[in-house]
């Protein structure tokens, strides 16, 4: 990681001041009457300074080695300052320094003229004076400065193992990393206050030249990262500096330098936390999730408190783009995410979610502002408030569950105001926004058919939905999907966007959402790249096939939550589980689909799906019983109808793609939702009256596809399709209406619902 390389080099640089002082600043001409050799007893200690310097940069130097090395160099500096003469009467040029290095210290690899000049430039930043030479008085200043350097190095020595990643995560004490970072922060701030750097015009570019020069000088040694590694990370380091500090930021005074220095220490703190904790952590536990949330807040505070954000009130998109460009090169980015996708996605998120009142107007939008950051923080705090409630719940029994009744009682008794005020946000206006979000959460919990997940993450569909229990894990999934749903509603709701409970997304807006995030969806393999925009079709599905669907051509608050719950748990989760199992059952072919996954052999898939249906769909209780009772012939009709209703690939190939499987799984959930919603007598079929009760939901759709037909005939036409699985002709309708006068028609089962979906497949698009 770049941070490790730079911490090593930075700390080595502090130590190098000792060598620099001894060798560079005293490379002058010796007075004739004094012969100085390293064998002299006065300088015998210098022989071990390089070795101790190496130990310092590796974090293995003892306090004695640090103290003796600094004392040795200080005494040597004072001696040389008195006994040597440079090109100037009272000072030394860069060439003087090089000569001294070459003669006394560096027999094989002398420093270059360029490094000498950069060292003197750094000297000027530390103590003032000229960048062309160093005076004897400045050598004495260096000696004095080495006192604080030694003290800080002694304080840092006990933390070097942590700072340089020498410790194993499991061996780290709870506060050890935080203590190390705070000591690093304190030491660097103290040293800075002992210099004149805050009054100088020393720049990042100057520091980069010096660091690169020193790294090149020590290439291949164990004490420093090799030059090639440092060169590799340098573009990323520079882009981070540009992101946090600004492209041409002028640090004016000690406070600016202090803020900038804190930014980089905070960044390293984030890196350490990731290295020692986050990358080994799981979000499947309460403690693990808290750590992830805390890590996210650390990143947020770094950006919000960055020098550039504080000074300019914004971070230009061009600086964010630069950071993304370098991060994509430096790191292994998951999925097929590239710089173009990442840059487009964050811009859309800023435009639509963090500044929704723009209504998509991009004019004048060129930076991430403090307002955007506060909008982001609000959404994070909404998540935190809900999660605080979940974390405080009392789960009972061997499976640590809580009933729906107890959950609602806890919701009513939860001291929201205290939690918000004491642990989340003290701003009165933000508190009001959080209280509104709490009401939104309650609306979802109190729904007639509340969303409940199983321990495997599957969306449970039952005619006893209010009786199903929750666990910490399932409620946390609930919170994750709620957070995602909120962002979509905020960004794309047309109706009352400031009040999400009463907000709704139109077809045009949902189509826009799919357009906006198409690149991301394709990259993470959530969208089929061959398909046109599916926003219109999915909005219809949310309207017709979710528990709360009402067919009004708008996706409201409850419908959106249920739709996203099905998409994530079924379309992505269950389908992935089935695909993995099919590979174990040798039902995969060598052919690869558009997503890069193995295609399934249709016959093998159909057979194994029948055998394992209740395992794969343990969340579809009624359908599980129905499928278990099917004969092989009946199953053949069921799976054939299901595939025709959902298939995207060419059926002639005998193979199923990932898109086919996802569509199949989702449609099974839709079918179960409809059955559970309208099967009022619980006999697992739909009677004529139950079918009629479902008609209002589909009436707007039926009117669109059958213009000029009366609502009564549309209702009867829906009943005919559900009972007989085909669109009725005029004669069919006459016969059907006559028959139901004298006798009850057959009742519709799951297969009948699938047949209607098959018949209306093209109309639903």
Higher pLDDT, 403 or 206: 403
Reported as a single tens digit per residue, the pLDDT across 673-695 is: 999 999 999 999 999 999 999 99
Q: Is the pLDDT of residue 118 over 90?
A: no
- pLDDT for 563 beyond 50: yes
Choose among 160, 177, 226, 189: nearest CA to 15.
Answer: 160
Q: Give the DSSP H/E element, type plus range, for residue 122.
A: helix 113-127
Q: Which of 111-120, 145-154, 416-425 has the lowest mean pLDDT?
A: 111-120
Q: Which pairing describes strands 598-601 and 655-656: parallel, antiparallel, or unpaired?
A: antiparallel
Q: What is the mean pLDDT of residues 558-583?
A: 96
Measured CA to CA, the distance from residue 666 to residue 566 in angstroms comes to 7
Can you give the pLDDT at residue 317? 97
Q: Which residues, 6+ apart, have CB-to-CB distance to 568 below 8 Å?
A: 481, 484
pLDDT of 232 reads 75
For range 10-14, the mean pLDDT: 48
pLDDT at 39 over 70: no
SS3 for 319-349 is: HHHHHHHHHHHHCCCCCCCCHHHHHHHHHHH
pTM listed for this prediction: 0.87
- The residue-averaged pLDDT of 249-268 equals 89
Looking at the predicted structure, is the pLDDT value of residue 31 above 80?
no
- E strand map for 623-687: 655-656
Q: Is the pLDDT of residue 20 over 60?
A: no
- Average pLDDT, integer, range 727-749: 92
Give CA 413 to chain center in angstroms.
33
Report CA 720 to chain centroid distance, whole Å: 50
Q: How confident is the model at residue 287, as a pLDDT?
A: 93
Q: What is the pLDDT of residue 730?
A: 92
End-to-end CA separation in angstroms for the chain:
48
Q: Is pLDDT above 50 for 739?
A: yes
Burial of 209: CB neighbours in 10 Å, binned 0-12, 13-18, 19+: middle
CB of 402 closer than 8 Å to CB of 474 = no
Lowest average pLDDT, out of 121-135, 201-215, 618-632, goes to 201-215
Q: Provide the 8-state DSSP code for 430.
A: H
Per-residue pLDDT of 196-208, as tens digits, reads 888 888 877 888 7
Please give the pLDDT value at position 437.
94
Confidence (pLDDT) at 497: 66
The share of the chain scoring above pLDDT 70, in percent, equals: 89
Q: Which residue has the higher pLDDT, 94 or 388?
A: 388
- The arithmetic mean of pLDDT across residues 547-553, rounded, is 92
Is pLDDT above 90 for 60? no
Give percent of the chain with pLDDT exceeding 90: 61
Separation of CA 590 from chain center? 34
DSSP string, 512-568: HHHHHTHHHHHHTT-S-TTS---HHHHHHHHHHHSTT---SSEEEHHHHHHHHHHII
Say yes or no to pLDDT of 434 above 60.
yes
Query: 218 with 224: CB under 8 angstroms?
Result: yes
Give the pLDDT band (50/70/90) at residue 36.
very low
Write the pLDDT tens digit of every residue in 578-602: 999 999 999 999 999 999 999 999 9
pLDDT of 294 higher than 50: yes
Give the model's confidence band at 765: pLDDT under 50 very low, under 70 low, under 90 confident, else very high: low
Beta bridge partners of 84: 30
Question: Quick one: pLDDT band at residue 646, thresholds 50, 70, 90?
Answer: very high
pLDDT digits (tens, 9 = 90+) for 445-486: 999 999 999 999 999 999 888 899 999 999 999 999 999 999
Q: What is the per-residue pLDDT for 590?
A: 95
**Does 339 or 16 have the greater pLDDT score?**
339
Q: Once rounded to an integer, what is the mean pLDDT over residues 322-350?
A: 93
- Please state, in angstroms and rounded to a whole number, the distance separating the CA atoms of residues 358 and 448: 35
pLDDT band at 708 (very low <50, low <70, confident <90, very high): confident
Position 40 pLDDT exceeds 80: no
In this prediction, residue 570 has a pLDDT band, given cuts at 50, 70 and 90, of very high
DSSP annotation of 744: P
- State residue 42's pLDDT score: 60
Long-range pairs, 352-357, Cβ under 8 A, ≥24: 352/490, 352/491, 352/492, 352/513, 352/516, 353/379, 353/487, 353/490, 353/491, 356/490, 356/491, 356/497
């Amino acid at each position: 990681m770049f941070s490790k390389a730079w911490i090593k080099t930075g700390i080595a640089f502090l130590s190098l001041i000792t060598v620099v002082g001894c060798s560079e600043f005293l490379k002058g001409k010796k007075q004739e009457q004094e012969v100085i050799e390293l064998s002299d007893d006065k300088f015998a200690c210098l022989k071990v300074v390089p070795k101790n310097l190496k130990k310092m940069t590796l974090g293995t130097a003892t306090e004695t080695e640090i103290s003796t090395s600094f004392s040795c160099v200080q005494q040597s500096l004072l001696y040389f300052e008195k006994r040597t003469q440079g090109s100037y009467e009272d000072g030394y040029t860069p060439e003087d320094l090089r000569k001294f290095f070459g003669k006394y210290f560096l027999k094989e690899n002398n420093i270059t003229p360029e490094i000498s000049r950069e060292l003197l430039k750094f000297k000027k930043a530390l103590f003032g004076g000229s960048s062309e030479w160093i005076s004897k008085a400045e050598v004495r200043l260096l000696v004095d400065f080495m006192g604080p350097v030694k003290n800080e190095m002694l304080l840092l020595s006990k933390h070097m193992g942590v700072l340089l990643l020498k410790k194993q995560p499991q061996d780290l004490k709870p506060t050890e990393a935080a203590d190390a970072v705070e000591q690093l922060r304190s030491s660097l701030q103290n040293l800075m206050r002992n210099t004149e750097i805050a009054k100088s015009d020393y720049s990042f570019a100057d520091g980069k030249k010096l660091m690169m020069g020193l790294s090149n000088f020590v290439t291949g040694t164990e004490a420093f990262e090799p030059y090639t590694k440092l060169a590799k990370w340098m573009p990323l380091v520079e882009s981070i500096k540009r992101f946090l500090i600004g492209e041409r930021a002028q640090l004016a005074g000690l406070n600016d330098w202090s803020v900038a220095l804190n930014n980089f220490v905070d960044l390293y703190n984030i890196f350490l936390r990731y290295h020692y904790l986050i990358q080994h952590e799981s979000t499947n536990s309460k403690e693990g999730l808290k750590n992830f949330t805390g890590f996210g807040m650390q990143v947020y505070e770094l950006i919000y408190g960055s020098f550039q954000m504080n000074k300019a009130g914004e971070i230009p998109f061009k600086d964010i783009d630069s950071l993304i460009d370098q991060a994509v090169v430096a790191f292994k980015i998951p999925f097929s995410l590239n710089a173009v996708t990442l840059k487009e996605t964050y811009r859309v998120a800023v435009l639509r979610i963090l500044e929704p009142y723009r209504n998509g107007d991009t004019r004048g939008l060129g930076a991430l502002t403090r307002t955007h950051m506060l909008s982001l923080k609000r959404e994070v705090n909404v998540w935190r408030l809900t999660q605080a409630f979940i974390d405080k719940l009392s789960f009972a029994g061997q499976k640590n569950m809580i009933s729906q009744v107890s959950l609602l009682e806890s919701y009513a008794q939860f001291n929201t105001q205290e939690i918000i005020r004491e642990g989340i946000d003290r701003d009165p206006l933000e508190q009001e926004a959080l209280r509104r979000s709490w009401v939104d959460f309650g609306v979802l919990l109190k729904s007639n058919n509340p969303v409940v997940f199983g321990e495997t993450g599957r969306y449970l569909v039952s005619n006893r939905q209010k009786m199903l229990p929750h666990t910490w894990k399932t409620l946390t999934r609930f919170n994750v999907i709620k957070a995602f749903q909120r962002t979509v509603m905020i960004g794309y709701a047309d109706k009352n966007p400031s009040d999400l409970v009463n907000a709704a997304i139109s077809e045009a807006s949902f189509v826009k959402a799919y357009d906006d995030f198409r690149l991301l969806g394709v990259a993470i393999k959530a969208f089929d790249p061959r398909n046109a925009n599916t926003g219109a079709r999915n909005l219809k599905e949310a309207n017709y096939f979710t528990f709360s669907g009402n067919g009004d051509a708008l996706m409201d608050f409850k419908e959106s939550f249920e739709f996203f719950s099905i998409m994530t748990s079924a379309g992505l989760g269950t389908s992935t589980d089935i695909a993995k199992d099919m590979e174990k059952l040798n039902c995969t072919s060598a052919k690869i689909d558009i997503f890069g996954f193995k295609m399934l052999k249709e016959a093998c898939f159909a057979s194994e799906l029948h055998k394992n249906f209740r395992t794969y769909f343990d969340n579809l209780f009624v359908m599980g019983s129905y499928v278990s009772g099917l004969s092989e012939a009946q199953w053949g009709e069921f799976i054939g109808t299901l595939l025709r209703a959902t298939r995207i690939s060419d059926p002639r190939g005998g193979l199923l793609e990932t898109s086919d499987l996802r569509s199949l799984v989702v449609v099974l959930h839709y079918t179960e939702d409809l059955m559970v919603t309208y099967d009022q007598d619980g006999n697992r079929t739909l009677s004529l009256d139950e079918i009629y009760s479902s008609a209002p939901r589909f009436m707007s759709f039926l009117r669109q596809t059958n213009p000029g037909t009366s609502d009564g005939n549309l209702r009867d036409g829906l009943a005919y399709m559900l009972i007989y699985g085909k669109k009725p002709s005029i004669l069919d309708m006459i016969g059907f209406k006559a028959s139901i006068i004298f006798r009850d028609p057959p009742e519709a089962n799951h297969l009948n619902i699938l047949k209607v979906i098959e018949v209306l497949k093209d109309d639903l698009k």
